Amino acid sequence: MEAPDGGPKGDRVWCDGCYDMVHFGHANQLRQAKQFGKKLIVGVHNDEEISLHKGPPVFNEQERYRMVEGIKWVDEVVEDAPYVTTVETLNRYDCDFCVHGDDITLTADGKDTYEEVKKAKRYRECKRTAGVSTTDLVGRMLLLTKCHHVSEEHMDEHRERARTLSTDSVAQSPWTRVSRFMATTQTIIEFAEGRAPRPTDKIVYVCGAFDLFHIGHLSFLEEAAKLGDYLIVGILTDQVINEYKGSNHPIMSLHERVLSVLAYKPVNEVVIGAPYCVTDDIIDRFNISVVCQGSRVPHHDHSGSDPFEAPKRRGIYCEVDSKSDMTTEKIIERIIEHRLEFERRNRKKEKKEEAAFAALQKLSLNGNVDTRNTVNIV
């Protein structure tokens, strides 16, 4: 059976990256990479390497290791993976080749990090997910724009303000500039498990915003999944979240949040645009045995009534400790606290990528373009 690029499949496939603020774009790249072989091995760079080459990460290395490990297409995680991918690394972990998205990753001095494995013919490519990147998400928080989830008629006032993530009009990366993710049913199908609950399955239901999916969310879902055989996650609408949280919340749109949740191992199914209150109708429709909430989750009074009144009345409500105090608000606080550093990081990254893109265009004019070849930016 062939890989997506028409070439032969491998036994063990290597991917690596920063995986900062792990999002559905990362997950989609790993999903595609898994199609190239039987097992997917993912190397994750440490904080020191990322700070050197890109700037400070939002998630620390321990958070990033756990987040990548939780993605359902990942078989093994290699911690402290080198920033530059080498043949020696592939050999050490018994990998046939590495797979990367069709964008360019550069070192601090502007060199392609995959130069060596490309020359050794042990490099394959898949498509990156258009419309989302870590730079994009950081930019949304820095700009405090709502354009990622408001209706089209209200977009105009935000377009110019969100034209560049870093507020620097000079640097606009062709890969990480602000873009609206276009959700399709095919993408959701590719992320979905596709298994319906068995008649004997004990079904657990949780619901929430799950904005900027983080280690606290993952830990909560892992604990909730232990309470039954099949975990359904209800994802609240953008409008409901904005009504009780205000400001520019949610940072990610409904479909972005749906894909982020679907990418993780504990999750079997999602309800897209779930109601704020868990009603008797929902419980009966999905044959729910347990309704669960995190004990560390901030409680928001949205409708004036207890959203868990029905499951409490029926004796199927419980709270679990996620063993993590991480919240979406704390992530935003990290960004705001280090605002200048992240703005510099975004400008630096965009300028490097703009230079790389210009080099690729030049090669294209000469008829020599191939992203699988090395592009060094001096």
Is the pLDDT at 157 greater than 50? The verdict is no
Is the pLDDT at 348 greater than 70? The verdict is no
pLDDT at 139: 74
pLDDT at 178: 37
Q: 25 with 115, same domain?
A: yes
Q: 195 with 125, same domain?
A: no
Q: 122 with 214, same domain?
A: no
Interval 167-185 mean pLDDT? 46
Residue range 46-65, pLDDT digits in tens: 999 998 888 889 899 999 99
Q: Regarding predicted confidence, which is higher, 162 or 314?
A: 314
Q: 204 with 323, same domain?
A: yes
Is the pLDDT at 158 greater than 60? The verdict is no
Q: 123 with 254, same domain?
A: no
Give a yes or no: residue 217 inside a domain.
yes
Give a yes or no: residue 172 inside a domain.
no
Give a yes or no: residue 159 inside a domain.
no
pLDDT at 305: 83
pTM: predicted TM-score of the whole model, two decimal places: 0.81
Chain centre distance of CA 295: 25
pLDDT classification of 153: cutoffs 50, 70, 90: very low
Q: 193 with 280, same domain?
A: yes
pLDDT at 338: 76
Is the pLDDT at 318 greater than 50? The verdict is yes
Give a yes or no: residue 204 inside a domain.
yes
pLDDT classification of 355: cutoffs 50, 70, 90: low
For the ranges 78-87, 123-132, 253-262, which has the lowest average pLDDT?
123-132
Which CATH number covers residue 21?
3.40.50.620
Give a yes or no: residue 150 inside a domain.
no
Q: Regarding predicted confidence, which is higher, 362 or 154?
A: 362
pLDDT classification of 1: cutoffs 50, 70, 90: confident
pLDDT at 140: 77
Residues linked to residue 208 through DSSP beta bridges, in sequence order: 235
Q: 104 with 219, same domain?
A: no
Give a yes or no: residue 375 inside a domain.
no
Give the C-alpha distances (Å, rounded to integers) separating 67 from 31, 127, 327: 15, 21, 14
Residues linked to residue 2 through DSSP beta bridges, in sequence order: 8
Q: Show the domain range for 75.
A: 10-129
Q: Regarding predicted confidence, which is higher, 234 or 345?
A: 234
Is 232:262 a contact under the CB 8 Å cutoff? no
Measured CA to CA, the distance from residue 260 to residue 368 in angstroms comes to 37
Is the pLDDT at 201 greater than 50? The verdict is yes
pLDDT at 175: 34
What DSSP line would sit under 148-167, residue for residue?
A: TTS-GGG-HHHHTTTSSTTS
- Please give the tally of structural domains in the chain: 2
Q: 124 with 249, same domain?
A: no
Q: 120 with 207, same domain?
A: no
311, 329, 347 — which closes off a domain? 329
Give a yes or no: residue 121 inside a domain.
yes
pLDDT classification of 194: cutoffs 50, 70, 90: confident
Q: Quote the tokens at residue 147.
A: 């354009």
Q: 197: how many CB neighbours lie within 10 A of its CB? A: 17
Amino acid (1-letter code) at residue 155 = M
Interval 204-228 mean pLDDT? 97
Residue range 320-335, pLDDT digits in tens: 998 899 999 899 888 8
Q: Quote the tokens at residue 67.
A: 């987040």
Report the chain's mean pLDDT, rounded to a whole number.
82
Collapsed DSSP state (helix, strand, coil) of residue 143? helix
Residue range 240-261, pLDDT digits in tens: 999 888 777 898 999 999 999 9
Interval 129-149 mean pLDDT? 66
Measured CA to CA, the distance from residue 101 to residue 25 in angstroms comes to 10
pLDDT at 353: 58
Collapsed DSSP state (helix, strand, coil) of residue 227? coil
pLDDT at 203: 99
pLDDT at 311: 98
pLDDT classification of 204: cutoffs 50, 70, 90: very high
Give a yes or no: residue 373 inside a domain.
no
pLDDT classification of 145: cutoffs 50, 70, 90: very low
Q: 94 with 191, same domain?
A: no
**How many helices and strands (H and E) does the chain possess?**
15, 10
pLDDT at 127: 84
Q: 36 with 114, same domain?
A: yes
Is the pLDDT at 371 greater than 70? The verdict is no
Residue range 9-59, pLDDT digits in tens: 999 999 999 999 899 999 999 999 999 999 999 999 999 999 888 888 989
pLDDT classification of 177: cutoffs 50, 70, 90: very low
Measured CA to CA, the distance from residue 330 to residue 212 in angstroms comes to 11
Burial 124-134 (b: 16+ CB within 10 A, else e): bbbebbebbbb
Q: Regarding predicted confidence, which is higher, 245 or 278?
A: 278
Q: 193 with 321, same domain?
A: yes
